[in-house]
Amino acid sequence: MSRVLITAGGSGIGRAMATAFAAAGHDVWVTDVDADSLDALPAAWRAELVDVSDEAAMAALFERIVAEWGGLDVVCANAGIAGPTAKVEDVAWDDWRACLDVTLGGAFLTAKYAAPLMKAQRAGSIVLTSSTAGIYGYPNRAPYAAAKWGVIGLMKTLAMELGPFGIRANAICPGAVEGPRMERVLEREAAIKGMTRDDVYRGYASGTALGAFVTAEDVAAMALYLGSGGARMVSGQVISVDGFTINPDPQV
């Protein structure tokens, strides 16, 4: 049985990850900034309000994990915010910084505090949530794409630096995932591109070889694998769960 920390586990992909790990018999510890979503989680899960971009709060979280669990086997650095949907010249500096702080800075802080625990154990798996935006870029989403490319650079570095201690690091790149977050993105992109929400949706789906959106459960299944012993020689990898992107910006 593994001890698994999942950031942004209150909803969406993070919640699906926690559900998958818990169903497989592992202990899960979930953090989020949304109190209502945490209140709705199963009582057996540890759940608490922690902002991934707040270093003091993250340091205190890992102290509690050591006190209660004595270590950590798997960490899913999953938190990320969409940032603005705007042409690059219209992106406000504050919006750029907010997106980078949570999406890249949060992944960094999660790894920074997980590393000493895992090094002491000489074992561990770090699973970072990037995005297909971190492979191809993403028109009208400059801060998000830059942050998700950064997550891959961070992951590659972690895999090299921590590999000698038996610690693996991998990044999952989901494509467009069904759910409220993509609904908000679809509405915003429809407005900026002068299209309907349904046209943007069809564009995303037809931009993949499998012709469909991903589900949060598809992404969670990959996280569960990467956290398992079956993946013991898998590290430093960028793994897409996207139905095979064949056109990263089909609307243009």
Closest CB 32 distance from ligand NAD, rounded Å: 5
Q: Which of 149, 135, 60, 55 is nearest to 99 (CA)?
A: 149
Q: 118 or 241, CB closer to ligand NAD?
A: 241
Binding site for ligand NAD (CB under 6 A): 7-8, 10-14, 31-34, 37, 51-53, 78-81, 102, 106, 129, 131, 174, 176-177, 179, 181-182
Nearer to ligand NAD by Cβ, of 123 and 238: the residue is 238
Edge-first strand order for the sheet with 27-32 is 46-49, 27-32, 3-7, 74-77, 124-129, 167-174, 238-241
User: Nearer Cβ to ligand NAD, position 33 or 154?
Assistant: 33
What's the CA gap between 217 and 27, in Å, rounded? 18
Instruction: Compute the least distance from the CB of residue 166 to ligand NAD, in Å.
Output: 26
Bridge partners for 31 per DSSP: 7, 48
On the CB side of 134, how many CA atoms lie within 13 Å of its CA? Answer: 30
Check residue 6 and give left, alpha or beta (phi > 0: left; psi -120 to 50: alpha): beta
Of 144, 201, 204, 225, catalytic: 144
Determine the length of the chain: 252
What's the closest the beta carbon of residue 138 comes to ligand NAD, in angstroms? 10
Looking at the Cβ atoms of 179 and 236, the one nearer to ligand NAD is: 179
Residue 144 appears among annotated catalytic residues = yes
| Shorter beta-carbon distance to ligand NAD: residue 181 or 193 | 181
Compute the least distance from the CB of residue 116 to ligand NAD, in Å: 21
CA dist., res. 219 & res. 181, Å (int): 15
Please name the residue that has the structure tokens 């971190």.
134
Q: C-beta of 149: minimal distance to ligand NAD in Å? A: 12
Phi, psi of 139 (to 5 degrees): -55, 140
Instruction: Tell which residue, 101, 106, 100, has the closest CA to residue 6.
Output: 106
For the annotated catalytic residues, the residue numbers are 144
